[in-house]
Amino acid sequence: MKFGKEFKKQKVPEWTEAYMDYNGLKRILREILQCKQSRQPSTPLRSLHHRLTMHRAFSGLELPQSTEFPSKGDIEDQVIDVSTSLEDGCRKFYKTEFLRKSEEGGDIEVMFFKKLDEELNKVNSFYKDKVEEMVHEASLLNRQMDVLIALRIRQQKHDFEGANAEASCSNDIAAANHPLRDINLEDTSNDSDPESTSNPDVNEVHTANCDSACKEEENDRERDPLKILEYVKLNNTLESPLSTIRGVFKDSTDEDLSFNKEELRKVEERLRVVFIEFYHKLRLLKHYSYMNLAAFSKIMKKYEKFTSRRASRSYMKIVDNSYLGSSDEVSGLLERVEATFIKHFSNSNRREGMKSLRPKAKREKHSVTFFSGKLFQELRFFSGCSILLLIAVVLRIQARKLMEKREGVSYVVNIFPLYSLFGYAVLHKLMYVTNIYFWRRYRVNYPFIFGFKQGTELGHREVFMLSNGLALLVLASCLANLHLDSGSNASKYKTVTEMVPLGLVAVVLVILFCPFDIIYRSSRFFFIRCLFRCICAPLYKVTLPDFFLADHLASQVQAIRSFELYICYYGLGEYSRRQSKCHNHGIYNAFYFTVAVIPYWIRFLQCLRRLCEEKDATHGYNGFKYLLTIVAVVMRTTCELKKGRTWIVLALISSAVAVIMNTYWDIVVDWGLLQKKSKNPFLRDKLVVSHKSVYFAAMVLNVLLRLAWMQLVLEFNLPSHHKIAASTVIACLEIIRRGIWSFFRLENEHLNNVGKFRAFKSVPLPFNYYDADADKDD
């Protein structure tokens, strides 16, 4: 694989703009090469000179020049001169002067080195900022470790109840806390470039800082390690319903330490996760440095190849001496984190510690014994069977002419809604398959955004196989139902026929909640966990997967109502009479209202939770939008049940207001389009898809499909089976609209992360530390 493709593949998606623009520099080199080829045509004299030069080189008449001691010819052949300047007080910026401007094509080479300097300064500044963030985060982890060690000492005091045991344990454990702290003291003097060590004033400042820091360190070591517990409280992250309820009745989200084993265990688990995530950040930052250094080296070699000028050695010397090439803070922090994690969280077992810090990304696979194990073959098998069964169902209906018979109409009215539940699910999965395919194609980092565990995220092929597998089960059940219902012994198997849909639901639920490690268990449990958090809103902290799933549930109102239909149809014994009279029951009608409102109510509660936590008015406006949608859904459901012109008018007005509000929110807020001062008219500055017409088509489709959602309000004089077909089509259109919305919603989220260089998930620290001296000053 060529370096350009490998470089693009290895980039951290959220840091793409911070990497060296390798392709942009290659384009300039191609211009230089084209200029030289066009202005220096090959002549017989030039060819003869080239052959003579090659003959002297290979015959040994020209001796190779030493690279350690440049001769006078090297100085005369100097191509570039790189100068440095200090900006922002301590940051070095590099500027290269091309010394052969007067030659043909010199202006293009000047442009090349100007671009090269811009990229070096950009990469250098970004790397320095990130290293400073890591060093600051390491200092915060030092304090967290101090508290953890103090808690362990306190716990051992309760366990052993001996002063000698406490003293010996405190000495041993406190001494083990120094690896992370030492890196801060050593690397404080390395925040600037290594070339600054030649400045005596800078050295004096660093020495003074180091001496003061060392004195403070010695004082910390001499003081009682348990004293720190007086200024520490637990950080209550409100991650469970109980902690949320407690937080409502308390003014602060901090809790006092109770010094018990359960509390210590939870703190250790949280700090363990923090260390693993911090180590992952350091590794990505080190990889960022390595890839950019390799890119600078490769592009300079290409420059020498295209121009036949020797400038790579002198420029790479500057790159190697820059902060990017000479800083070793990240390597030092990696070593200290490994030592601290192995000692405190792995019982000094290096193998287990490194296994936790560097987990191997294993692709999750399902276990099916009778398949060959190749995913592509399984896809073909499931797809082929699904298509054949679909054709068989259609032919069966046409052969029996069921739609022309009374029994056929009864089948559509009573049985078809039971199977439509799975049809909605299959369509939703197919839209998700399409989204995953295009997210990967346009490098949208959906596993990071959704928070999937590394190696467990499903690709479009795996989800496509699951959707085909579900379709296969549904179509096989439907065909069996048709066969038993229309045969000569239909009355004999009537009860069995009616129980086929219920059995299908039972099979799907068993697979979904199966505890065994088959059929992508982690993905199933991730879905169940998010669904449970949605149901329990607002008791859980709202994350993106939670409100993303809740938005999708809002597009599956018909599917949710199908669950209620199952309960009524089988619970009230309607299946034995092949007639659905569920709407004659008052309880069913009450739940018919409630079920339609539940998804929007969940989103409303999630918006209130985010408004209280983040203090952002946007979440309040979003909650008001869902409140308007709830009113519209209630009016529509009332109109559907009670009829009447008044209810139709009220339903139309409320639905129109909800559609206008929701359409504006989808396009402007969720998708980030229709920006006033954008370089792409009516869109936004950054676009993942290069074809702008795709965005305009998506906006038009969103408006049209939103209007289709209003069609259910209108009263059409249609037969009952035609009404069911119309509502099914509109429900499918809403699922398609939600699938389109999902792609652009996640694209906008990805671009927001890229704009803020957010490549890591934020893990809350377990302790809040209050400095006593600072409190006195206040």
Position 67 scores a pLDDT of 38
Q: What pairing do the DSSP bridges indicate for beta strands 91-98 and 80-87?
A: antiparallel
pTM of the model: 0.80
Instruction: For 594-615, write each residue's pLDDT tens digit.
Output: 888 999 999 999 999 999 988 8
Burial of 261 (0-12, 13-18, 19+ CB in 10 A): exposed
Give 41's pLDDT tier (boundaries 50, 70, 90).
low
Residue 401 Rama label (left phi>0; alpha psi -120 to 50; beta): left
Find out whether 295 and 20 touch, Cβ atoms under 8 Å. yes
With 60 as the cut, is the pLDDT of residue 133 above it?
yes
Strand partners, 83: 95
Asked whether the beta carbons of 603 and 550 are under 8 A apart, the reply is yes
For 163-215, what is each residue's pLDDT tens digit? 454 444 444 444 444 546 544 434 433 444 444 444 444 344 344 444 444 44
Q: Torsion-angle region of residue 343: left (phi > 0), alpha (psi -120 to 50) or beta?
A: alpha
Which is nearest to 746 in space by CA: 524, 460, 436?
436
Helix axes 416-441, 557-571, angle to 10 degrees: 150
Structure token pair of residue 235: 């950080």
β-sheet with 767-769: strand ranges across: 254-255, 232-235, 767-769
**Sign for the pseudo-dihedral over CA of 436, 441, 442, 445:** positive
Asked whether 672 and 751 are in contact (CB, 8 A), the reply is yes
Note the pLDDT of residue 125: 92
CA atoms within 13 A on the CB side of 706: 22
- Characterise 20 by phi-psi region: left (phi > 0), alpha (psi -120 to 50), beta (else): beta
Of 503, 539, 53, 131, give the one whose Cα is nearest residue 323: 131
Determine the Cα–Cα distance for residues 438 and 363; give it in Å rounded to an integer. 20
Count of residues for the chain? 778
For 639, the 3-state DSSP assignment is helix
Instruction: Find the angle CA(154)-CA(157)-CA(162) to the nearest 5 degrees.
Output: 155
Q: Which of the given ranges, 34-38, 464-468, 570-574, 713-717, has the highest pLDDT on average? A: 464-468
Q: For residue 407, give both structure tokens.
A: 């029994």
- Report pLDDT for 73: 43
Q: What is the mean pLDDT of residues 552-567?
A: 86
Q: One-letter amino acid identity for 247?
A: G
- Whether 537 contacts 506, CB under 8 Å: no
Q: Which amino acid is at 380?
A: R
Q: Has residue 375 got a pLDDT over 50?
A: yes
Q: How far is CA 408 from CA 243, 488, 551, 718, in A?
A: 55, 15, 36, 17
